[in-house]
Amino acid sequence: MTVRTRFAPSPTGYMHIGNLRTALYEYLIAKADADGKFILRIEDTDQKRYVEGATDIIYATLKQVGMNWDEGPDVGGNYGPYVQSERKPIYAEYAHKLVELGGAHYCFCSKAEAEEEKDEEQNMKFQDPCKRLSPEEAKKRIAAGEPYVVRQTINKKGKSKYHDEVYGDIEIDYDELDEGVLLKSDGFPTYNFANVVDDHLMNITHVVRGNEYISSTPKYNLIYETFGWTPPHYVHVPPVMKDAQHKLSKRNGDASFQDLVAKGYLPEAIINYIALLGWNPGNEDEIFSLDELKKVFSIERLNRSPAIFDIVKLTWMNGQYIRKLSEEEFFAHAEPYIRKALTREVDIRALSRVLQPRLETFGAIPEQIAFIEQVPDYSADLYINKKMKTDQEISRQALIYAAERLEKISDWTNDNLFAELKSLAEEKGMKNGQIMYPVRIALSGLATTPGGATELAVILGKQETLERIKSALNKLG
């Protein structure tokens, strides 16, 4: 059996973290099989929630993280169309067949009631009990243009039993299942019907979705059973949580994939992190490229417990990826953030080299380099540092020595500046830190900086360095 999985998002906005994780697991399950196929299907039957441009966001996101699909709306395939709104005749055909087979029935109402209908997904005006008409009478009403929906028929008693790859064997009473709408009055199917028809016709072998669908799966299996079709392997996964009580949700202001990228997180780091939100490799390893995930991922190691989205852990992981970038790759990412934050002419290449070993997100760059534009107002007490063995008087004298030495230097490189200030400290009988620390404070006005004293001096240039030291001496009297 060739493994065929599908990612079937609704084009309703940005890519939520939970949706992207579902896509990733679908992709990895497919790619674990040498001949496996990953299919993209757009589920746009809920027209009220459709957002213009959202489909393009789906395409862009998957491509950005490297999850290329084998079949889909833009690349074609043997099982199209891959957009549900283009498959309406297919759903109508199978809905009527299901009625004929006894797995569904028609419900009718007046045109006025249909026009007043507000909830397109459930069509509550057509709720049961509705009069079960003979097939002949139903056909007459349909031919006469009377509004109707197709609603599932559930006449089984006892328990539905099925196997889930994560939760094992599951039993649910048929009495707990409602006879939901399958085909709406506007001719569009509901998710509960379209996903079954499409998964069967597209030969989908594995379905990954949230565990909130566990209780609905018996309804899907009844449709498979009525048609004589074989259900796919079910892989229900727990939700991604904001905390112990709340699901991660864009409507509550939680970050989407696009938000995280805009804040300076690398797509590769995001994918790596969300793979671990519900799955573990069975050892202590945490850093995986997408290609490495293809080799180590297995359904058996998916967890049943909800995963909490930890932005601190993601930020740490993003820092690991940043440090693995080449100097040129890092600069390509960092340059737009640097240029947007600065108006002063500085050596941005040198600044980029200083930032890379210390940065965790590119979005943190503006805050980290704000001192380059202007030294913040700071207290002279900042020059008091027990570890560096400095106080205000020692710092004042160190800055006088440093200004005299720096004024004479023409080779304004980090190695040379460091050697000169180190030599200066030795000449004056001082510790290296007693020279370097005051210079760094003078140049930045900050206790912590993305670089040492001489690195900041190179970035700022000779003239600005000397001017800032002069201003610091004025502060120290």
Q: Are 315 and 322 in contact, with CB atoms under 8 Å apart?
A: no
Tell me which of 37, 184, 219, 250 is the catalytic residue.
250
Contacts of 103 (CB under 8 A, 6+ apart): 152, 153, 222, 223, 226, 227
Q: Considering only CA atoms, give the Rg of the chain.
A: 32
Q: Are 150 and 182 in contact, with CB atoms under 8 Å apart?
A: yes
Task: Say how far apart CA 397 and CA 472 lie, in whole Å.
Answer: 11
Tell how strand 104-108 and strand 148-152 pair up.
antiparallel
Residue reference for tokens 């290449």: 349
Q: Are 346 and 461 in contact, with CB atoms under 8 Å apart?
A: yes
CA end-to-end span of the chain: 82
Q: Are 99 and 135 in contact, with CB atoms under 8 Å apart?
A: yes
Rounded (5°) CA angle 248-250-254: 60
Q: Are 216 and 245 in contact, with CB atoms under 8 Å apart?
A: no
Contacts of 32 (CB under 8 A, 6+ apart): 3, 294, 297, 298
Q: Are 104 and 144 in contact, with CB atoms under 8 Å apart?
A: no
φ and ψ of 237, to 5 deg: -120, 150
Is the peptide bond prior to 306 cis by the omega test (within 30 degrees of 0)?
no
Furthest-apart CA atoms within the chain: distance in Å: 107
**Burial class (CB within 10 angstroms; exposed 0-12, middle 13-18, buried 19+) of 473:** middle
- Annotated active-site residue 250? The verdict is yes
Q: Which residues are catalytic?
A: 250
